[in-house]
Amino acid sequence: MACGRMDPSREEVEVIDVPAFSLCEGGRLQSALTKSGLSGGARGRGMLIGMLLVIGWLPLVVLSAAAGTAVGGVDHPLFSDLGTWARFLVVVPIMIMAEPAADRILGIVVELFRRAGLVREPDLPAFEAAVVRTQRLATSDTAELVLLLTALALPHLLVASLPHLGSEAAWFGSVVEGRTDISGAGRWYAWVSLPLVQFLMLRWLWRIVCWWGLVWRISRLDLAWAASHPDGAGGIGFLAWSPRAFRTVFLGFSALAAATVSNRIQYGGESLLDARGPIVAFIVCECMLLLAPQFFFVGGLVKARYSALAGYGLTGIAMTREFDRHWTAPPPASGAKLLDSGQSSAMIDYTGVYGQVKAMRPVAISLREVAGILLPVAAPFAPLLLYQYSLKEILQSVVQLVR
């Protein structure tokens, strides 16, 4: 990707080639997908999603249908299992299709750090080294192998206990004389389907951790803050865009969690009130993962704000005294002379700049942008209210809040 650097002493733009930042492109797995045409475009990604459904979802349908547990025959048939639907028809497509948008947003954020002049010249090598290191870690073959092994192990720990099976027969197995009997579909689910989805999810969690690491390293640099910047965040207001890169991914996480809670209510005998605590904790954890990097710069922003206020305050005292001396000292200035002078407008401009510095936030993100992140994270849990209340009761409560 070519980027332009403007030299203040020259009018022309010097073009410098800088590799596009990416948390998703790189590594042997991604290289193999690209060579096979399963990455790099909407069509290729669509083919990859289709292939994953054929590997993870279709065998469950075939094996359950052969056992008579796809649509009936047991208390918990496959087609009524919202968790399975969510994993393959929501989570898998989101995990694959979210990659280009995430790379585009994060690439812009990284490039703006370069172009905004926030990174001082002596720190540019450290900044570029941190960017390269982050990309290498995010796409590391070793890391992906560890994630794959973890994904293979987790489902067995989860399926072995079968927390929502109880005494009811399900498409993935049943309890016979106190012994858990896993069906053919259940075995495929444990050995193939669940690891596949878990791997995609763990990959995104690893990418988020890598992004945390990059933002943390940047926050340790001696940044050239612009306290009077109109974004109210010392010039790093663009960092508030970064949670949008992961927002769709966390929508998928929430959809899966909501489907799991639904299964527990339907087949595990739990109530929505029982799940209230875990739901709130889950949403809080997601928000922390998305928003925590915004707080890495608090120290620098607070220091920059008070330093700028002190400097602008001293200048303001000198300006005010000079203004008062010029316009209030005998003989008093005439109104016409005041209107023709540029000093009054300079004072107004200075007051506006001082107010901008005084209103500077300790974090780049605003409450409005936080609400834009919280809404998609919490939205998948809203339908669960129908287990506790009727639609009429919910609508009446909403109307009472806004009347």
What are the pLDDT digits (tens) for 223-272? 999 888 888 899 999 999 999 999 999 999 999 999 989 988 888 788 88
What are the pLDDT digits (tens) for 117-141? 899 999 999 999 999 999 999 999 9
H or E element that contains 294: none
User: Domain map of the chain by residue range?
Assistant: 2-302+365-402
Angle, helix 242-267 to helix 367-378, in steps of 10 degrees: 30
Average pLDDT over the chain, rounded to whole?
A: 84
Cα–Cα distances in angstroms (integers) from residue 112 to residues 100, 103, 223, 361, in the given order: 18, 14, 13, 19
Nearest-angstrom CA–CA distance, 90 and 41:
19
The pLDDT of residue 292 is above 50: yes
Got the DSSP string for 342-370?
SHHHHHHHHHHHHHHHHT--SSSS-HHHH
Q: What is the pTM of this model?
A: 0.85
Nearest-angstrom CA–CA distance, 122 and 396:
61
Task: Give pLDDT, residue 380.
Answer: 94
Asked if 185 contacts 69 with a C-beta cutoff of 8 angstroms, the reply is: yes
H or E element that contains 400: helix 391-402
N- to C-terminal Cα separation, the chain: 53
Reference 173, options 107, 74, 261; nearest CA is 74
Task: Give pLDDT, residue 4.
Answer: 43
What are the pLDDT digits (tens) for 360-397? 899 999 888 898 889 999 999 999 988 887 777 777 77
